[in-house]
Amino acid sequence: MARTPAPTGSAAKIAGADDALARIAALARPLVFTNGVFDLLHRGHVAYLEQARNLGAALVVAVNSDASVRRLAKGAERPLNPLEDRMAVLAALAAVDLVVPFDTDTPRDLIIAARPDVLVKGGDYSAATTAGAAETVASGGRFIAIPFEHERSTTALLKKIRG
């Protein structure tokens, strides 16, 4: 039986839900973890991910599944891009070491299992409002909110496009 060749290039940086934890465990430490929708990647996302990566030896980005995005009440048309496309774009960034999907409302269970050294969110979050922050800190890790360097958002881009 012919084996499917292993993914190469940026595709090799995308984990499935079934192998995410094993792939995360194999990454260098200190491990930085963040999550989000990343629907329309913009300058703010890129600056944020580069800053997050600079906080450790490896960066994991967990991405909301399409169903999870719809449950966030971001609008009936969201996400604009399907999960596979959003993960592929993120995996192409040099700052990102691994991209993993999650289908729950928050990635709390994934964060607890991954045991990151640093949990990162954007400047509009705090440890009190971030799933998994308390558990990360309790296990010896840190929570860091990265201030916005560029005021950009997918929601604002959509408003501009719609005129």
Which CATH number fits the domain that encloses residue 151?
3.40.50.620
pLDDT, the chain, mean: 91
Q: Please check the confidence at residue 15 and state whether its pLDDT lies above 70.
A: yes
The answer to whether position 6 is within a domain reads no
What local confidence, expressed as pLDDT, does residue 75 receive? 73
Q: Which residues contact 27 (CB under 8 A, 6 or more apart)?
A: 57, 58, 60, 97, 98
Rounded to the nearest 5 degrees, what angle is found at the Cα of 36, between the Cα atoms of 53 and 104?
Answer: 125
Q: Please check the confidence at residue 57 and state whether its pLDDT lies above 80.
A: yes
Q: What is the mean pLDDT of residues 139-152?
A: 87
Q: Please give the model's pTM, rounded to 2 decimal places.
A: 0.90
The answer to whether position 1 is within a domain reads no
Q: Please check the confidence at residue 7 and state whether its pLDDT lies above 80.
A: no
Total count of domains within the chain:
1
Cβ-contact 125, 145 below 8 angstroms:
yes
Residue-range definition of the domain harbouring residue 97: 11-162
Rounded to the nearest 5 degrees, what angle is found at the Cα of 132, between the Cα atoms of 131 and 133?
Answer: 95
The answer to whether position 15 is within a domain reads yes
Higher pLDDT pick, 33 / 153: 33
